[in-house]
Structure 1
């Protein structure tokens, strides 16, 4: 292990001091819900580790057995940022394993959602098996059909009947196994009195089988076994492409992804960790620095500075006094406090927000082009087939009537139409992926093209959380600034790190007797001077002191003399004014925020004059605002980043979560946009509209093939060879056209570069 870093210039995370307590992992009721498997000797657990980012991370995590002999194996999944570990439970506890991971810099992220285990485990194994069966049968039926198409020698002719029965046998697993989902979907659609694209597909597959069985059993022909197997094979490949998604990104997160697994409860026997679900009204809880408040409660002891940014959108910590109620979802920023629960977790304000109807029915069905077309396509296809059959019956030719009817349903089967959307939208997904825009599924891309109204949250969405600007109000000499930096270097607080970065290169000094009070400030001795950095209350700011008025500030005191304060502001994302100007040409723009209106005047110059700028809005009010826009006929896209936006994101026609770190918490949504690609929004919307044009054009090509084929089918003269050539040809044409056209449009919109 000592040799590895000599050969890798990008090593993984450094070891950090242990900062979390894992007492709750000793509770059997909690541990049992986290593990994947356990027997008398071994335990297997899968941990989500956001810190995984490079090859050395993988190397270290897969060599954990060298760090502890109880670890048998460890296998990492870089895309999902997960590690599956097998260990001997008698020699290493679950808590010990998690602490070991934290010690080496790869602390697992364990949330309440890991315990309830309601994450949908997406698997394509069943679909891949069906593709394999269809592909095997397709290849063999093609091989057995070649002699029939191109003329059989005397030897091959003697086996023609046997080849026919073999082909019929190959169609059975394709019909009964590989293609059964199409029949189920078609039947469900008909029961709902609707017509989706699976109805004509199922009808075409069924007719292909019946026609093949009729000809082979009756000895009148070779049938269409290879066409049937090939059709199902290509359709399943298209479905596999369509189901492509980003398994390393969670689009279904809710408040449980934000809540901890357990909390510390005060009992007569001392403090004890308990599962969140076990919290009852009247329980007294200890909430430490940076911990989440899991239920509505009253403050009994301590100084509460609560960060409600994920609940209300307000970016500034809120001070609470003894006896005041504190709502669930806030994060304590400071020393430990004691609370008494007034509502159970299931009855808290935050949980009630998730009980809104908009959250219960989130599996929305987008209105896609293929679904719209399928309604009319099925009716038109059946009309042509029945008309052709009727015509030949009146011509006293029942054989041609049967042949024309089945031929129309076979050649008119919308195989190319069914493949145009999946392959077009899959190519679009890869383009978005390269530009750090992760769309949940292909249907959401079509919805993106239909949007006409954009609604933005403020904090963390149009403002950049990682690009704060720091200003100093007061007077510091170069030596005094160096002393402040020497103290701040010892703290891991974000403000301390930002202050060190702001100061730049200063004289290196040594700080002694360093002390940090969470939520209040830090202090140390530098030389002969006592330096204090922190809140106004910690420093002792009074009216008339430098920078005593307004906002969130970090004060500096040297030897009890207040020198001034640092004020950090979150600036807007780069070129926000120009970006909004470009979007305003095609969309109605609005802003709704849970934060106060101190930036309203500045934003009025960024947004169009007719834009709604709404502030101090609760999550439920955001949801109702989106609903009101939809009632007015708008197709709304909502941009947000926190719990306070979750309701609006799910109510909107399309919800996009903006995150400057896609591995951190983001609410349930249809797409995740990396903050670095926020300026690309106009290009994304334009590209989505271009993708819709490709789908329409591919439908035109599919219609052209169907028109040519139907001209032969209605005459009852279509041969198996004609079907065997035309259907794969149309499929290959559609796949080639959609792939090339989509990437050409990506180049047109300057989205062809890999930004990952």
Structure 2
């Protein structure tokens, strides 16, 4: 008889089918979930899904379906927060689907209408991993749509932030409208101004007057609508006694418009409305390009962004009910299942709690909690069902207190850009020159005062100065994002360039998330012993057990009976008439120094210790080279919530003077950063997880390391893809080069301003010269800054 290949991969998801392989339709599936998805696709003639990419599906092996999970979606209170549009019949809704990973996913999700005829249309934004669905209220509802997505392996990611506020893109749309109107008006004003520029007196006076008034009409939407972005910015600065760079731009817009109105109404000239429209148009281009670079990222998330949308509570008559987390109250009995997050600080009543606090503390090993003890919000249960009683509101839990530190309530910019400082000097010098010009003409020819002073304020508008920074930083933000570094705003480029101290977290930052290095010490294991150990390890959800299961060779599973797991300590079972035990030294009764017990899992077979597995973190590729490049130029420090089991290794790659602190709490990390800053250091903090949030926010530059950019990241100034961490020195060098490029472009813009001022101070500035200088200076700056920043990026082999 031919032996069946036990390593056949699942036709749907590509996962190896072990002893639980399922045969259907002459195809192999790793679990019943994948088989069901295949059946759904087959019944709806959607098997082309498998032709686009080999094994494109999402594994259903660990999916836990509950019939009431999405029932809350059709409650009016929740539905109103999720729905983007409805007229009572047709409804539009969007869901975040983190499982989307390839073109097959897009194809399937955009054919949902062939599975559920109530769905009218579905479109996927792959970059955002978001699906927009239009459905008929009479034929289907939100619950059914969410359940359909979940059954196909694309369970919607729902959280409290979705129901607390709608994600509106009205600000972005408004900016586009302003830009479009300014561009339309600028082009037409320029066209209608040509007769004025090049006429030699032959153009009919009445026709010129008509053109001038048409220009005035076209400039009104620009002045009263498109330019409001700069009015608000300048006014905001003035209210805080701060003269930002938008203030002289607003002054130039006002002077240009008012003088133009005066000239046109009085009939003495055509004014400078083309220059005014050009100022607004080019400024809005720069603002839009810079904003567009990071509009898809969320940097200011709070606890609502990752908490579940609802929680299961136990009523007085012992019935389970799903309620919105916003309605959770102190005293409610809540039910928490395997892999569910605890939404509020609660006392454990029943169940074996094995809580993973890695999101809060950074420590990956689950913590065992006994009945009567408090389980803090943010922990995740690993194991059996728990029943708990809420002792603090969601808003008062330990988790949210991390966000309520004083550092998080400071919404002011940590640092004002040097561009604003230069603009203040620029404005001061301009006013001094204008005063000198006014005095000169008052003495020599008072009729030229108004013309000369207003012309100076028009031509010396710092728009080219602002474009120098805006377009350079906009292009740099784009280049950084292509290379996996996503900055919150352009000011972060400057703070990166000023860094002299770098502080790193360990777990999830310089270590590879979800990867562990496993070594076995002891007697050589036979193949049958390896099979016994792997069979036992695969029964536990503990990270160490998973690491051991992955480390040992995959063989056909063996029946496990009498399984007993003591969370946080170990587990044992009978397998093929053998008693296998594995866990800590204490659990197995091994007499050993506890300080050397960190990261070790001991194994006994039939009461005989056969050895132990040493489990250590896997460090990211290039970490040693990274530290080697940084330690000669920067002061380095390591802050970790983990124990010091790997201190020897880390001491070897860090400089002798580097600080290595272990067992750090969120508060101690925050305090450490503050103490460094008090000594005048410019600190860059790199970390992950909520336990680093305070330190990231307090630091001059806080960079969150993430292996999934679209997932939650704490409050930070930037997000860096984990696989790009090794390029940090290049990013810092590029940020420093950016400042040099901006300063060079400043010199170009100043040269243009000097040329303009030469004509303006004489009181002879003509519309033709203004029309040439204004756009040419802007275009020169745009070409220089984008070209140079791209050239430098290629020099350092950035994408």
Q: Deviations over 1:335-355 (max 9, x none)?
A: 222323332222222222222
Query: Which of 561, 584, 601 does residue 631 from structure 2 map onto?
Result: 584
Residue in 2 that maps onto 1:361: 410
Structure 1 window deviating more from structure 2 (267-276 vs 301-310): it is 267-276
Post-superposition offset of 1:648: 1.3
Structure 1 window deviating more from structure 2 (674-683 vs 610-619): it is 610-619
Report the TM-score when normalising by structure 1. 0.91
Is 1:220 paired with 2:263?
Answer: no
Q: Are the equivalent residues in 2 in contact too, given 1:296–1:343 (CA < 8 A)?
A: yes
How far apart, CA to CA, are the structure 1 residues paired with 2:708 and 2:355? 23
Q: Deviations over 1:691-719 (max 9, x none)?
A: 11111111111111111211111111111
Residue in 1 that maps onto 2:737: 690
Post-superposition offset of 1:198: 1.4
How far apart, CA to CA, are the structure 1 residues paired with 2:791 and 2:587? 63
Q: Are the equivalent residues in 2 in contact too, given 1:335–1:519 (CA < 8 A)?
A: no
Post-superposition offset of 1:138: 1.2
Q: Are the equivalent residues in 2 in contact too, given 1:145–1:226 (CA < 8 A)?
A: yes
Is 1:321 paired with 2:373?
Answer: no
Q: Are the equivalent residues in 2 in contact too, given 1:411–1:713 (CA < 8 A)?
A: yes
Residue in 1 that maps onto 2:18: none
How far apart, CA to CA, are the structure 1 residues paired with 2:649 and 2:596? 21
Post-superposition offset of 1:563: 4.7
The alignment partner of 1:666 has SS state of: coil
Residue in 1 that maps onto 2:463: 415
Is 1:131 paired with 2:183?
Answer: no
Is 1:26 paired with 2:74?
Answer: no
Is 1:740 paired with 2:787?
Answer: yes
Is there any run of 5+ residues in structure 1 with no aligned partner, and where? Answer: none
How far apart, CA to CA, are the structure 2 residues paired with 1:262 and 1:268? 19
The alignment partner of 1:568 has SS state of: strand
How far apart, CA to CA, are the structure 1 residues paired with 2:532 and 2:759? 89
Post-superposition offset of 1:89: 4.4
Residue in 1 that maps onto 2:327: 278
The alignment partner of 2:292 has SS state of: coil
Query: Which of 29, 33, 54 does residue 102 from structure 2 map onto?
Result: 54
Is 1:298 paired with 2:347?
Answer: yes
Q: Are the equivalent residues in 2 in contact too, given 1:264–1:287 (CA < 8 A)?
A: yes
Post-superposition offset of 1:20: 4.6
How far apart, CA to CA, are the structure 1 residues paired with 2:330 and 2:55? 50
Q: 1:519 to 1:683 in 2, by over 3 A?
A: farther
Q: Deviations over 1:210-247 (max 9, x none)?
A: 22223222322222122221221111111112222334
How far apart, CA to CA, are the structure 1 residues paired with 2:95 and 2:393? 29
How far apart, CA to CA, are the structure 2 residues paired with 1:578 and 1:623? 27
Residue in 1 that maps onto 2:516: 468
Q: Are the equivalent residues in 1 in contact too, given 2:382–2:541 (CA < 8 A)?
A: no
The alignment partner of 2:667 has SS state of: helix
CA RMSD in angstroms comes to 3.1
Post-superposition offset of 1:540: 6.9
Is 1:599 paired with 2:633?
Answer: no
Post-superposition offset of 1:688: 0.4
Q: 1:24 to 1:90 in 2, by over 3 A?
A: farther
Q: Are the equivalent residues in 2 in contact too, given 1:335–1:518 (CA < 8 A)?
A: no
Residue in 1 that maps onto 2:397: 348
Is 1:701 paired with 2:748?
Answer: yes
How far apart, CA to CA, are the structure 2 residues paired with 1:179 and 1:248? 25
Q: Are the equivalent residues in 1 in contact too, given 2:253–2:458 (CA < 8 A)?
A: yes
The alignment partner of 1:570 has SS state of: strand
The alignment partner of 2:212 has SS state of: helix
Q: 1:10 to 1:404 in 2, by over 3 A?
A: farther
Query: Which of 48, 52, 71 does residue 3 from structure 1 map onto?
Result: 48
Residue in 2 that maps onto 1:380: 429
Residue in 2 that maps onto 1:720: 767
User: Within 5 A, what are the aligned runs for 1:53-132?
Assistant: 53-89=101-137, 91-117=139-165, 121=169, 123-132=171-180
How far apart, CA to CA, are the structure 2 residues paired with 1:413 and 1:738? 19
Q: Are the equivalent residues in 2 in contact too, given 1:367–1:447 (CA < 8 A)?
A: no
The alignment partner of 2:712 has SS state of: coil
Q: Deviations over 1:475-532 (max 9, x none)?
A: 321344356557778998866664455345x6x5354579988886899998x56686
Q: 1:457 to 1:182 in 2, by over 3 A?
A: same
Residue in 1 that maps onto 2:302: 254
Q: Are the equivalent residues in 2 in contact too, given 1:17–1:103 (CA < 8 A)?
A: no
Q: Are the equivalent residues in 1 in contact too, given 2:563–2:574 (CA < 8 A)?
A: no
How far apart, CA to CA, are the structure 2 residues paired with 1:60 and 1:708? 61
How far apart, CA to CA, are the structure 2 residues paired with 1:83 and 1:532? 47
Q: 1:531 to 1:264 in 2, by over 3 A?
A: farther
Is there any run of 5+ residues in structure 2 with no aligned partner, and where? Answer: 1-45
Q: 1:686 to 1:558 in 2, by over 3 A?
A: same
Residue in 2 that maps onto 1:642: 689
Post-superposition offset of 1:366: 3.2
Query: Which of 353, 356, 367 does residue 307 from structure 1 map onto?
Result: 356
Q: 1:636 to 1:335 in 2, by over 3 A?
A: same
Query: Which of 159, 184, 187 does residue 207 from structure 2 map onto?
Result: 159
Q: 1:515 to 1:687 in 2, by over 3 A?
A: farther
Residue in 1 that maps onto 2:336: 287
Q: Deviations over 1:637-685 (max 9, x none)?
A: 2111001111111122221100122233321211111110111011111
Post-superposition offset of 1:26: 2.1
Q: 1:488 to 1:627 in 2, by over 3 A?
A: closer
How far apart, CA to CA, are the structure 1 residues paired with 2:167 and 2:710? 16
Q: Are the equivalent residues in 2 in contact too, given 1:290–1:332 (CA < 8 A)?
A: yes
Report the TM-score when normalising by structure 2. 0.86
Q: Are the equivalent residues in 2 in contact too, given 1:529–1:559 (CA < 8 A)?
A: no
User: Within 5 A, what are the aligned runs for 1:508-519?
Assistant: 508-509=555-556, 511-512=558-559
User: Within 5 A, what are the aligned runs for 1:38-49?
Assistant: 38=86, 40-49=88-97
Post-superposition offset of 1:7: 4.1
Q: 1:76 to 1:523 in 2, by over 3 A?
A: farther
How many residues align? The count is 747
Q: Are the equivalent residues in 2 in contact too, given 1:655–1:669 (CA < 8 A)?
A: yes
Is 1:612 paired with 2:668?
Answer: no
Q: Deviations over 1:130-168 (max 9, x none)?
A: 111111111111112212222358465652222222222
Post-superposition offset of 1:722: 0.6
Residue in 2 that maps onto 1:624: 671
Q: 1:68 to 1:560 in 2, by over 3 A?
A: farther
Q: 1:500 to 1:309 in 2, by over 3 A?
A: closer
How far apart, CA to CA, are the structure 1 residues paired with 2:730 and 2:506? 21
Residue in 2 that maps onto 1:656: 703
Is 1:390 paired with 2:439?
Answer: yes
Query: Which of 685, 703, 715 does residue 668 from structure 1 map onto?
Result: 715
Q: Deviations over 1:303-349 (max 9, x none)?
A: 22221122122232222233222222211222222323332222222
How far apart, CA to CA, are the structure 2 residues paired with 1:517 and 1:19? 22
Q: Deviations over 1:462-482 (max 9, x none)?
A: 222243211123432134435
